[in-house]
Structure 1
């Protein structure tokens, strides 16, 4: 630990100091910018253009004293252009640079106010709900009234091409394995805990969603179906501002939330932070009807269960940026997430012959409580090394995660044959500790005006300790059951390096790169003495070509190879019971899966997009539901399937019917194929063509009132051993602003017709079951927010930390 810390700190500050002494040589062109009152203007965009053809040469931003400098300018004739919102554009007289002569000082240039009213300009600057920029599909959550009061998980569910399964696992265009980032940074959470965090994160914190289906080599290779980056709200100029939010909802059970965010920026320092709290109750019911085949003896198991869960959540973020000068910044960020829940769940299983004669029954009463704590720390540096565009960024991260799950099972067995009753009391305690350390460096180097090289290095270290203690009540006390208890230790080290080239011309945009990742892991089943070691080196190429034939037509082709490593908890072999005949267990022998993805797209008028994709995954990590004939049980686990193929066609159509009426439609048609020659003794060969349709309608009724209606539909889909029936949902929202838009009131109703439920049947040969699962999805919410302070405070920087890949593999 000391060696790691010293190495990181030494490397970080050595690179920071080295970056500070990077200077370029050559003739400089500089000056100052002021307003008509001779007050220095900072953050003015200063462009240097060639006088003969107005070709852009370089761009700078004025510092806090209004100064700017263009370094290493070759001989020629140029002009300087100044631009800033609210001020008239300024053009200088021609400037002649002669080799070998002194640097040029342009003196002070004065910018005059623009005659246009700023508020008139702002009225036309409304963002669309959905837009496409480059390789990203952006959903502007902040302009959506139907998302008010919703959780981040519900916001994701409404995004084009995104869907959730019965366990709220996220899929993108019909494929699971999505890497979720927040402000470009990892969450350090597993699937279950990420889901829990998103369920408790409020939509008022979110500015937009960025959906990237084929990331470049600069991004982590983790995540077979792409990246969803959740951008949180930021502020804009010097001063202090913030937002206070409070909300309440009802779905048959009460739900409350509240939060505050604040940002303060001065000349050299920026402090920012937020805190959010939610307290909710909700109900979920699950019914399973299945046929059990034990050596030819067939019987029916009819399970009915329901429970009420109460959960509360605290999350916070605090940080600071120190602006050493306009080119060099050092920052620190602390994120925290604390979740606690308790649940009472009752489950009844009736066991009968196929003719309906009940032979026996199990009545289970399960009580549980859980707590989860995640705190992560980030130290970062960003430097602009010269005016040519060389950049260096450094991140050092540490994340500490602790979960504590306690469950007690009270099972009552009833036998009709002898009228006998047997009670069984069980409980388990499963503490888990995961520490993650990471360090990364990213460097950008322009090779010419149109060609840029990106390169970087990253190392991460993971230490996980999971101790599962299973106890049985016997006689007068609790005794440990060594057959079901286990202690699992896992360590992992990943070292990665990448290089990426980008070339941009007037019509062509080209990108190609490769990422190498070397992995060393060790899984130790302490109780049984089994040890699994793995060492492997992989290469992940990526490429993208985009051709803009003219202003309205462009075509793109992308390719990438990616990896999905098992979640840390999925490797844990412990068993979690719903009752004696239904349980979940991990698989310590899971292998990573590898995915190759191709995507061809066409964009018309920079907003209408159609794309076709093909994905092939080997050793696909898939959640499966399988029979255990010896126990007459049904269990859920993760397994490697030999191959998964996905073909997709996606269409995105935004349309304005009128100035006050806009719509957006996204249609995703896809076909999934799953193949495995031996899955628990059976050959699996499933395929299904499905369609997902998302539509939103937005209406503006005056300057401060708006309405939104949105809907999602998904046809029948097969995923691994699951077959999901069609489902749809409709959401409604309205928004009203007061007091010059400082106060906002939003009313939303999610799942208006209460149709958001799951109907699942078996797609596994020889297994016959039907599962129905419903939560309290229809919820009405009222959310009030108030903005205070200077609404133009500039935000802190957004950047990616070193833990993006590890983030998505923690317990969620």
Structure 2
């Protein structure tokens, strides 16, 4: 009924606008703000209906992201009412409007009778544009049903997740990932594995922040991805249950239950997942002598048999102290148990391809990990007119233990074990002060403290500790940040200016040798975000931000990996942080059924961190014969300039067809001279690459939803070689059951089993001579088929609330 009312309102507004072009009546402006009565949260897209009591003409408008509205009308007497789906319509009676008027704060209450008509899970994935970010609502994206956070991110425009799980934004892997706006134990000790263990159903939306304001951490030269988790907002008891089965073997059970009254909101997310993840890799080396002639070959074939059991739970309680303030406490727990078997078959040949040696190396890694996080939030909205104080406290600890016996050709070669403990503490204070009707000031402080202890021990086949290989470290990274920013809107022009200071203290202690590394620095990070509304559905934005990339603990830990004796990774304690200046120019418009977003961007980085490979000759068999092994280690290179453009589009030709597409092209120039002045083998790289994504959703007969996602990534060159192209396709079919209370989804990920990283790497010695060429391929996860069933109670699936359009200029939202 209210959808029809809104349609009539929009038609009436258009008719009235046409008629009033000839009117000579004085113009007035009606303003105010609409909030939800209990939580005092702003209601975006609430509809105001103004009916002229004399002419019966109807005009109106909708609220912005902060619940504010501003409606122009001719002077006269109007009956005013406010509507919002799921809430009781509120009538304000008749008002004689002869001058500009502010209706103040209007509170709406939920309507229990119409609550069942509210859509809890959005009917489509939508895009919202803000001054400093884009918000992608996960919505009813079937290709991520039964999946995880990595699958969600891989379906977001501008974002790619490679075969190993590394996340990149616009082709740049230095992206900061936050959970609900803060670092989280959900990302744990290994961010890649953690994202694979976070279920997609727990995610409400993803914020892509390519030009972060001063409010956000300066970490991440590419930008920030902020994952927002679901939390119940509906009065009463509601929730959902879901189960997933799949092949290769997969079993998932999960759900969320929420209970809300006028004083409390109890929310929870629970999940269990068992998964087997077969994968493989191939590494083919061609080795050269000092004269450039082929001296031999080495082939490594690796097979990964992974088995993972994961349980995670989140429970929280929000208590409303009064109409304007609340306290929220939550506890997150995750227990992960993995059994990964990596079989590495290495064949060594001479220059004539005669087999010289064959080694079958098997690593059986048993891993147990527990993550805990305690969070406390205090929010005070003061008078409900925009002034706001939030205080966040967070404590987390992670404990992980690995036992990895390694055999070679059936004989026990070494016994490896590692214990890793992490402790994090966070304090964050943010204050927002509105100044007048269209500007606001913000300030805040954040202390982010992390301590990591890692103890790696290797014992030989007799159990004797190998002290020259074993390694224990203490890593400490304390960051103290202060920021302030000011935003204003002048007619159609908005700006947000900010400055952030971050004080960093990083200590690394090698406990075996008592070596100590200490890096302390204070840096300033200015931000500028500008926006201009050309029309109601057309705007341009311009952003600048200075960013930092700090080396993680495993990047500066000098101990070597042990999965392969001939292909190892080693950290670099001398790594320095990298700095980036980023510029972003955006344009967004809506033309009938077509939404278009376009961006031009430029980034200049210094002291960039890049993993490089080199060759070392070692006697790994203790037989006096030296063979070349590959050592990968991160280095600081001089700098890199990167620029490109991207397009994102949404086109809905009919109610049964929805199409979204994105295209990103970028070009980069890498100065590979190291910061210490030594020459890198390939001094400079000038290359380009691109990737594209197409997502279609079609409604078939019997209301079966068919969704297809295609992704293509072009080849790319780096300082040591090339990475080949990649194509991937996902396919899903969905059907709602039991009067839309349940949904059944059949999902095929990587339909053609083509998600592989293929690359060629050139390896040089210290004199710059080419001594090996590596032709490699890696596939983290093979094609997977899954069936997901979700049942909702008190969460019926109708249509989402009316919207002005998926592209919103941001209005007075200065980066919120």
TM over 0.5: yes
Displacement of 1:128 in angstroms is 4.0
1:242 aligns with 2:239: yes
For each residue in 1:508-547, what CA deviation from the matched residue of structure 2 results, as whole angstroms up to 9, or x when unmatched?
1111101000112211112122111111110001101111
Q: Does the C-alpha gap of structure 1 residues 436 and 195 become closer, same or farther in structure 2, counting only changes over 3 Å?
A: same
Equivalent pair of 1:190/1:568 in contact (CA under 8 Å): no
CA distance in 2, matches of 1:188, 1:396: 13
Equivalent pair of 2:121/2:139 in contact (CA under 8 Å): no
In structure 1, what is the equivalent of residue 249 of structure 2? 254
Q: Does the C-alpha gap of structure 1 residues 266 and 214 become closer, same or farther in structure 2, counting only changes over 3 Å?
A: same
Q: Does the C-alpha gap of structure 1 residues 241 and 301 become closer, same or farther in structure 2, counting only changes over 3 Å?
A: same
Find the partner of 2:29 among 42, 47, 54: 54
CA distance in 1, matches of 2:127, 2:534: 24
In structure 2, what is the equivalent of residue 27 of structure 1? none
In structure 2, what is the equivalent of residue 357 of structure 1? 354
Displacement of 1:659 in angstroms is 2.2
1:182 aligns with 2:179: yes
Q: Does the C-alpha gap of structure 1 residues 656 and 110 become closer, same or farther in structure 2, counting only changes over 3 Å?
A: closer
Alignment of 1:430-445 (within 5 A): 430-445=418-433
SS in 2 for 1:301: strand
1:281 aligns with 2:276: yes
CA distance in 1, matches of 2:108, 2:303: 71
The farther-off stretch of 543-552 and 258-267 is 543-552
Alignment of 1:723-742 (within 5 A): 723-742=722-741
Equivalent pair of 1:624/1:637 in contact (CA under 8 Å): yes
For each residue in 1:700-734, what CA deviation from the matched residue of structure 2 results, as whole angstroms up to 9, or x when unmatched?
23684311111000010234545210011111111
1:655 aligns with 2:651: yes
Equivalent pair of 2:131/2:530 in contact (CA under 8 Å): no
Find the partner of 2:660 among 632, 657, 664: 664
Displacement of 1:294 in angstroms is 6.0
Q: Does the C-alpha gap of structure 1 residues 515 and 484 become closer, same or farther in structure 2, counting only changes over 3 Å?
A: same
Could you list the structure 1 runs, at least 4 aligned residues long, displaced by more than 6 angstroms after superposition: 77-80, 108-114, 116-125, 189-192
SS in 2 for 1:142: coil
1:585 aligns with 2:580: no
Displacement of 1:261 in angstroms is 0.9
1:751 aligns with 2:750: yes
In structure 2, what is the equivalent of residue 451 of structure 1? 439
1:787 aligns with 2:792: yes
1:535 aligns with 2:520: yes
Displacement of 1:625 in angstroms is 2.8
Structure 1 unpaired stretches of 5+: 1-50, 66-76, 98-103, 414-422, 793-812
In structure 2, what is the equivalent of residue 302 of structure 1? 299
1:488 aligns with 2:488: no
SS in 2 for 1:478: coil
CA distance in 2, matches of 1:397, 1:317: 14
Equivalent pair of 1:575/1:585 in contact (CA under 8 Å): yes
In structure 2, what is the equivalent of residue 31 of structure 1? none
In structure 2, what is the equivalent of residue 462 of structure 1? 450
CA distance in 2, matches of 1:305, 1:396: 44
1:373 aligns with 2:370: yes
Equivalent pair of 2:268/2:313 in contact (CA under 8 Å): yes
1:635 aligns with 2:635: no
In structure 2, what is the equivalent of residue 574 of structure 1? 559
CA distance in 1, matches of 2:610, 2:447: 27
Alignment of 1:122-271 (within 5 A): 126-130=123-127, 132-188=129-185, 193-250=190-247, 253-271=248-266
In structure 1, what is the equivalent of residue 773 of structure 2? 768
In structure 2, what is the equivalent of residue 612 of structure 1? 600
Report the aligned-residue RMSD. 3.4
Q: Does the C-alpha gap of structure 1 residues 109 and 764 become closer, same or farther in structure 2, counting only changes over 3 Å?
A: closer
SS in 2 for 1:686: strand
Equivalent pair of 2:120/2:796 in contact (CA under 8 Å): no
CA distance in 2, matches of 1:638, 1:490: 18
In structure 2, what is the equivalent of residue 91 of structure 1? 92
In structure 2, what is the equivalent of residue 73 of structure 1? none
For each residue in 1:251-306, what CA deviation from the matched residue of structure 2 results, as whole angstroms up to 9, or x when unmatched?
xx311111021101122111111111110112111111112346558321111121
Q: Does the C-alpha gap of structure 1 residues 61 and 424 become closer, same or farther in structure 2, counting only changes over 3 Å?
A: closer
Alignment of 1:474-485 (within 5 A): 477-485=462-470
For each residue in 1:445-473, what CA deviation from the matched residue of structure 2 results, as whole angstroms up to 9, or x when unmatched?
11221111110011122222111111112
Equivalent pair of 2:81/2:90 in contact (CA under 8 Å): yes
Equivalent pair of 1:350/1:358 in contact (CA under 8 Å): yes
Displacement of 1:495 in angstroms is 1.2
CA distance in 2, matches of 1:191, 1:595: 26
Equivalent pair of 1:427/1:471 in contact (CA under 8 Å): yes
CA distance in 1, matches of 2:108, 2:343: 75
Equivalent pair of 1:684/1:764 in contact (CA under 8 Å): no
Equivalent pair of 1:142/1:206 in contact (CA under 8 Å): no
Displacement of 1:567 in angstroms is 1.4
- Higher RCO, 1 vs 2 (CA within 8 Å, ≥6 residues apart): 1
CA distance in 2, matches of 1:105, 1:719: 58
Equivalent pair of 2:164/2:780 in contact (CA under 8 Å): no
Q: Does the C-alpha gap of structure 1 residues 661 and 58 become closer, same or farther in structure 2, counting only changes over 3 Å?
A: closer
CA distance in 2, matches of 1:776, 1:656: 33
Give TM-score scaled by structure 1 length. 0.82
Displacement of 1:620 in angstroms is 1.4
Equivalent pair of 1:677/1:684 in contact (CA under 8 Å): yes
CA distance in 2, matches of 1:672, 1:78: 62
Displacement of 1:124 in angstroms is 14
CA distance in 2, matches of 1:579, 1:122: 52
In structure 2, what is the equivalent of residue 70 of structure 1? none
CA distance in 2, matches of 1:640, 1:273: 44
CA distance in 1, matches of 2:34, 2:779: 56
1:549 aligns with 2:534: yes
CA distance in 1, matches of 2:227, 2:121: 25
Displacement of 1:645 in angstroms is 1.8
Displacement of 1:173 in angstroms is 0.6
For each residue in 1:629-669, what CA deviation from the matched residue of structure 2 results, as whole angstroms up to 9, or x when unmatched?
45611122222222122111101121122221110110000
How many residues were matched structurally? 712
